[in-house]
Structure 1
Amino acid sequence: MTSTLSNILKFPSQPEPVRLIDRAEGGTICRAALDKLTAEERADYVASILRPAIGFARRKGRRLESLPPQLRAWLLELCTLGDPTCLVVRDWLDGNPAFTEAREDA
């Protein structure tokens, strides 16, 4: 029989995710809160949205509709705020419509 203090180790608990940005009313990203982040924190925040977005697009198909609704909303909010990386990924998901129109005209 084992004692109460045996050699069984507890699994480490998951740390709470760091909330870098508070949401404004309606769940939108607050521009002022995004500007307060350092460059490294902002890059981490954008990467935390883009990594799963690219993963979903690879698994379910390369289009905006393949993303879960909340992830799509965060990506599009960052696009409206002018984040260049999010704009590139959005264009990749859309199939680069501006480039396809230019090729058809040529």
Structure 2
Amino acid sequence: MSDPSNIPPNFRDSANPYQAPMNEGVLPPGVSPTGANFAPCPQCQQQVANAVSFSWWGGVLGPKLLTHVKCGFCGHKYNGKTGGSNTLGISIYLGVGVIFGIIVAVMFFM
């Protein structure tokens, strides 16, 4: 067996090269993984949020128009600019889409 005193000190004190990187945990306040600044979550008051890229109600365009984000801690979805609910905006978005669809259908079948 080799004597541990023969191992160079800088090698002996270094971290295990085979160990997986340690997770640093929580990001500092106001920093999101994407680098964008969003309003704090109305449920947990954390500022780490990610932009929603697709939703069932708005496809790809709707979440971008309403700045729809998802909290990185509790998962609550809200308006990233105001910190409020997007319920009214979603309703208006869907209403305009339905009205537009009806107008196009009427014009097509007349």
**Scaled by the length of structure 1, what TM-score is found?**
0.33
The structure in which a higher percent of residues are helix is 1
Larger radius of gyration: 2
The structure in which a higher percent of residues are strand is 2
Between the two structures, name the one with larger relative contact order (CA 8 Å, sep ≥ 6): 1
